[in-house]
Amino acid sequence: MPGKNLSRDEAQQRASVLTVDSYRVHLDVTSAPDPAAATFRSTTTIAFRCTEPGASVFVDLLAPAVRAVTLNGRPLDPATAYDGARVHVDGLAAQNVLTVEADCAYSRTGEGLHRFTDPADGETYLYTHYEPADARRVFATFEQPDLKAPFGFTVTAPAAWDVWSNAAHERVTPDGTARTWEFAPTKPISTYLTAVVAGPYHVVRDHYSRTLDDGTVLDIPLSAMCRRSLAPHFDADEILGVTKLGLDFFHERFAYPYPFGKYDQAFVPEYNIGAMENPGCVTFREEFVYRSKVTDAAYEGRANVVLHEMAHMWFGDLVTMRWWDDLWLKESFADFMGSYGLVGAGTRYQGAWVTFANQRKAWAYRQDQFPTTHPITADIRDLEDAKLNFDGITYAKGASVLKQLVAYAGSEAFFEGARRYFQRHAFGNTELADLLDILEETSGRDLRSWAASWLQTAGVNTLTPQLTADAEGRITELAVLQDGGVLRPHRIAVGLYDRDADGALVRTARFELDVTGARTVVAEAVGRTRPALVLLNDDDLTYCKIRFDEESLETLRTGLGEIRDDLARALAWSAVWNLTRDALMPARDYVALVLRFAGQEANIGVLQSLHAQAKGAVDVYADPAWRGEGGRLLADGALRELRAAAPGSDHQLAWARFLAQTANGSEHLGLVRGLLAGTARIDGLEVDQELRWALWLALAAAGHATGEELAGELAADNTASGRRQHTQCLAARPTPEAKAAAWSAVIDSDELPNALVEASIAGFAVPAHRDLTALYAAPYFKLLERIWAERTIEIAMRIVGGFFPQAQVDEATLAEADGWLAGHPDAAPALRRLVLERRDDLARALRAQACDRA
């Protein structure tokens, strides 16, 4: 498979003959502050060995121009050696030195070396992001995870800038208007993990020290950085505090000293993902620097990401998967460790498993029910497959399965296995079998059958209680029924709940057992009084969807919000949402539950999930004939709870944002405008800048905001965040002109940076504007292959997923999607996967609407 899309077979062949000894990379980014400068100079020297002298090999590089290629002192003609994606070299020796000089492009898509100019002060910032394979946009590389090597970076940058990379800098040499930063060689790492961050960043420094078991002291310099204009909002002490707790915790659990020297954390603009685990130089999206008030759920989410990336220093950086098939060997572990660490490290976020059960697993359940679902250990044929597998299966399902493994094998056996894994495979690459061998040693269990069921098969099981009782109301049998494709072994807890003297639903009994096969009897339950609620998978030990017997479901309809335990209540909320998505509960019934009980929900993260799901239920799953009424009910409920919420509380802020999302009548929109103008007031509610934009978006989507008003708000907030939100508001206006402008800005040009592409699509796709966006369904299907061919995969994925006519929930749109899939069997598999998943969402919505209508 030639070109950009490296195949697994090509990578395996290359790894079979090559060993890479070192990289030396020199980047000259002194041109970066000049917006007219499109490229920077990149010089790469690779020392490598070849077991087949005389062989040919290719080096990956995506660059506008290659100036020179030299192999073992022999110059090669770039015109023939470079094909636009690969540098081909032949006549290899046993020991080789290859130098490639190229002009590489600054990025505006978040892939490669991204350049951003701050509208607030005109300063320019750079950072790299590569996963899975964009280091080749910055330097010549063997772009696959199993060809690890030490990297030595040298960066020449404007004199006023600072520069960071994976290792500490050894010297900085001034040269007029520039300075050259030379960094120490790294430990052996994969190409996608290398990093450069450069610019006039605001920096906060600290350090962490720990006495190791051998008596030596491990000292880790720490830093956290953001753009200068964000410095007034940067709570670096909070971030560094979580960092230190995490380093303590992971050292205790892993018993392997942090291997990468320093620990920098850069919060960077226009970042495509949450964060990236570059060893020694972690990058985060700067939206984690909160300009305005956010709920505690946002702080918990950020702390989770900090610990997730830190876990990668061991799972992923120290020990790396051989190829992207085993991506889960790092992402599932890091996702699990994020929540496990928040609780175990003693952070203030002790409800992390509630958030995991309610939010992360919802992502996994959705992904695992697509026709494109895949095993946790996936079949990754090429880089495009790899890009799409950073999904709910690899992250959240994998983390859920690891939680099940800890319950199955035992916590100490699991962590002893991790310790041996790091010792044996440090700075190497592994596959599934390498981990299983060690975990079998430590647990004494046969994990091959467990892995075959959990890691090598796809799909989610459903567990349903089957309960019978005698005339006196005593249980004669309680069984757990399992269905859903491959039947797996589940270690679960079954909770029985009844009302206490205060009327709350509390657990009165708990049974822990192994569920195997289609039917498992809970013997200990026999003879007990039939409870008000049977909750399967209590404590959320396994990965499954749960159902309820009729009496339990009726208890939830009348008392879901009265379940006292936060995790049990979150599991119940998750279960009724799955019932709604599976067309087993009418959308209006789910909305009624939210309106009845969300005001009682203590957990702010769960509450915010309920808001998003209730909005989705009305917009997508409800009968269109009831949609208007459902929308009014949500807006009325939001207004009622906003006025009832404690002044200044997180709940008040969450309800204010929900009102902005649902406002649709004169009373709601009048209050929104009054809050913006200062003529209306809710006691304790601060209408700060981020909330102002949320309120403006409500008015814009309703057609109640003029272009002049939106321009005035941008003038008052001429920042990167302000520009994103202004762009979304413009696209969200309910006019043909606004939709045409947003569509054209994204489709007809590649000038928009990634952040504004995302904002334009979000504004265009307001569900209430389905009549306006219906006109774009036919053009959408006609341009798919062109967009996939012409844009970078990151931008193409956003366009394909974001512009899919999801709001047109009708048979005609489903037929258009089916027609495209049938007519394009040879389209790129990754493109077909995206369309097929959006098509499946559409079919699910039609089934849910039929349920709601009935």
**Contact yes or no for 333/311 (Cβ under 8 A):** yes
What count of other Cβ atoms lies within 10 Å of the Cβ of residue 725? 25
List the one residue out of 136, 139, 144, 169 whose CA is nearest residue 154.
Answer: 169
What count of other Cβ atoms lies within 10 Å of the Cβ of residue 136? 25
Helices (H), 645-769: 650-662, 666-677, 689-701, 707-716, 720-732, 736-747, 754-764
Retrieve residue 474's tokens: 């005593």
Question: Omega of the bond prior to 259 within 30 degrees of 0, cis?
Answer: no
**Dihedral-angle region of residue 270 (phi above 0 means left; psi in -120 to 50 means alpha; beta otherwise):** left
List the one residue out of 810, 743, 702, 690 whose CA is nearest residue 287.
Answer: 690
What count of other Cβ atoms lies within 10 Å of the Cβ of residue 682? 19
Complete edge-to-edge strand list for the sheet that includes strand 505-515: 505-515, 490-499, 533-538
Q: Give the H or E element holding residue 469.
A: strand 462-469
**Contact yes or no for 88/56 (Cβ under 8 A):** yes
- Which residues are CB-contacts of 288 (< 8 A; sequence separation ≥ 6)? 267, 302, 305
- Using alpha carbons only, give the angle 142, 146, 147 rounded to the nearest 5 degrees: 40
Retrieve residue 519's tokens: 């039917």
Tally of CA atoms within 13 A in the half-sphere of 13 that contains its CB: 10
Pairwise CA distance, residues 686 & 781, whole Å: 44
- Which residues are CB-contacts of 247 (< 8 A; sequence separation ≥ 6)? 208, 210, 220, 258, 263, 310
Pairwise CA distance, residues 500 & 510, whole Å: 16
Retrieve residue 583's tokens: 């067309």
**Which residue is catalytic, options 309, 331, 416, 440?**
309
The three-class DSSP label of residue 320 is strand
Retrieve residue 783's tokens: 């341009």
**Contact yes or no for 102/61 (Cβ under 8 A):** yes
- Which residues are CB-contacts of 184 (< 8 A; sequence separation ≥ 6)? 152, 167, 168, 169, 170, 261
Quick check: is 601 catalytic?
no
Q: What is the CA radius of gyration of the chain?
A: 28
Which residues are tagged catalytic? 309
